[in-house]
Amino acid sequence: MALNPQYEEIGKGFVQQYYAMFDDPALRANLVNLYSANDSFMTFEGLQIQGAPKILEKLQSLTFQKINRVITAVDSQPTFDGGVLINVLGRLQTDDDQPHAYTQTFVLKSLGSIFFIQHDIFRLSLHDCDEDPPHAFSQIFVLKPLGTSFFCAHDIFRLNIHDTA
């Protein structure tokens, strides 16, 4: 299968759709339709989950009602099987908590003209240190087998810098 030339548009459109559903408590349960029953994986703050029913269970366990979200950047790459790799950098505030930076990575798998979320990794960018640290960053690697070794098929690097102006 060839690389999808619309990967940028697909990535940005998907992110808009996903967060519109996620950020509305009345629509959040509908996200289950974007995942595969058995072939989707989610890592949420280190917790590994497989399959749409378990992912829905996790999404429904989230207790916040209000989300203020600012998306700083959406980086997308086409995958070699017609899918799209997406990395999102943003800030969010739930209910009355303080805002936090986050990164979320999606791998969309192509099934003809439709996509499902094959992989979803979410992590708040929290650092436990007393000194002024260097800038936080996120880096996503997709490794592919090559004989008895691996090669890096995809690499997305982003400094976690948010324009506050």
Query: Do 40 and 120 meet the contact criterion of CB atoms below 8 Å apart?
Result: yes
Which amino acid does the sequence have at 157?
A: F
3-state secondary structure of 40: coil
Matching residue, tokens 């207790």 = 63
- Could you give the CA distance from residue 86 to residue 159 in angstroms, rounded to a whole number? 15
Residue 128 has a pLDDT of 55
Residue 28 has a pLDDT of 93
Residue 38 has a pLDDT of 93
Residue 39 has a pLDDT of 93
Residue 53 has a pLDDT of 96
Which residues of the chain have a pLDDT value below 70?
Answer: 1, 127-141, 143, 151, 156, 158-165
3-state secondary structure of 115: strand
Residue 17 has a pLDDT of 97
CATH class of 6-125: alpha beta
Query: Do 85 and 102 meet the contact criterion of CB atoms below 8 Å apart?
Result: no
pTM: 0.82
Residue 69 has a pLDDT of 95
pLDDT tens-place string over residues 55-81? 999 999 998 989 999 999 999 999 988
Tell me the C-alpha to C-alpha distance, in Å, between residue 99 and each of 7, 75, 102, 122.
30, 22, 10, 16
Query: Do 140 and 122 meet the contact criterion of CB atoms below 8 Å apart?
Result: no
